Amino acid sequence: MQSLRPKSRGGLAAMLGASVASLAIVGALSCGGSDSTGPTLDPNGIAYSFVVVGCNRVAAPESLGVVSTANVQELNRTFADIAALSPKPNFLFFAGDMVFGYTNDSTALDRELKGWIALYQASPLATSGVELVTIPGNHETDNLAKIAYPPGERVWLRDMAQYISRGGNGPAAGGADALQTDQSKLTYSFDFKDAHFLALNSDPVGKDWHVPNAWVATDLASARARGAKHIFAIAHKPAYPYPTTPTDGLNSVDVPARDAFWGSLVSNQVEAMFSAHNHVYYRSQPTGKTWMVIAGNGGTPIDAGVDMTISGTGNYFGFTLVTVTNSGRVFSKSYGRDVPAAGYATAPTVATTLRDSVEITWK
């Protein structure tokens, strides 16, 4: 079981004090879907795990007057909660929109990103042994016209160099995907134990709302040929968005390209694509066995129109933890806390608890 503190089965986390570290996360592996009758623990334990979260920026660039333009209270709480998980996750994939960006002034973007990095480096997560992997969102790479522009990519690559160090094998400019800029450290892949990870830039210059389909198809086929047992993709924008925002995924401008991309995931038995962009937690299987998990509930105000009657929906702040067991089973678990009644950017005052759990093993 992964938790901040050991707890008896079926019990809710209790507040153990005012500090962030004292707020417990509870929960265990379920056998698929939320289980109100009690958890079933995998006897073989956890082989490795990772966390995905995105969309922590404030609602507007001038909000709160913080250099990072991040929702600092929620970000610090999430960093502390992840650092306190036991066993420690191997990775935190931060799936974009960590700062407000959306500017023609690349020096402003540079200032915001460095402010965000300073928050991370001051947190307990920075020295916890959890590897941070950052993935750009449209707020980092887009200008005021909401179009990806080269200075945004350049600032991102420079400032995030330490947190994209596994990059380099992605597509160069030109090629089968006709890319305008070098994407080799913005979209890339790497192996870890028996898993293969894809980090995808969903807004390359000249091709907003797209991922490089030709490169993805080749990379996935190669990973399968090498014997990868599990494959996970992480991008900022989802392939299939939350149902109440039907044009807010990779289908926004090019449905055939989205379908080709998703077809590559399904044909190569990718367990799940994780994303953010929609400010909500949501999971579904749009077509085929591959899961689409949206973890855009990092601290940006929850989207208007979230329909809690839609299965797999969560309107809370938190993060998603993925665990791979020694027996090969894979679970996606959403941990969350209610949005503070005093305002979305005020200090959280409640425990972070397990809100949703589903088995995503390819089978």
Question: How high is the pLDDT of residue 155?
Answer: 98
Question: How high is the pLDDT of residue 82?
Answer: 98
> Of the CATH numbers 3.30.450.40, 3.40.640.10, 3.40.50.970, 3.60.21.10, which one belongs to the domain with range 26-359?
3.60.21.10
Question: How high is the pLDDT of residue 64?
Answer: 82
User: pLDDT per residue over 128-171, tens digit each?
Assistant: 999 999 999 999 999 999 999 999 999 999 999 999 999 999 99
User: pLDDT per residue over 26-60, tens digit each?
Assistant: 443 333 333 333 344 445 699 999 999 999 999 99
Question: How high is the pLDDT of residue 65?
Answer: 85
Question: How high is the pLDDT of residue 17?
Answer: 30
Q: Which residues of the chain have pLDDT under 50?
A: 1-42
Question: How high is the pLDDT of residue 44?
Answer: 65
**Per residue, what are the HEC states of the chain?**
CCECCCCCCCCCCCECCCCHHHECCCCCCCCCCCCCCCCCCCCCCEEEEEEEECCCECCCCCHHHCCCCECHHHHHHHHHHHHCCECCCCEEEECCCCCCCCCCCHHHHHHHHHHHHHHHHCCHHHHCCCEEEECCCHHHHECCCCCECHHHHHHHHHHCHHHCCCCCCCCCCECCCCECCCCCCCCEEEEECCEEEEEECCCCCCCCCCCCHHHHHHHHHHHHHCCCCEEEEEECCCCCCCCCCCCCCCCCCCHHHHHHHHHHHHHCCCCEEEECCCCCEEEECCCCCCEEEEECCCCCCCCCCCCCCCCCEECCEEEEEEEEECCCCEEEEEEEECCCCCCCCCCCCCCCEEEEEEECCCC
pTM: 0.90
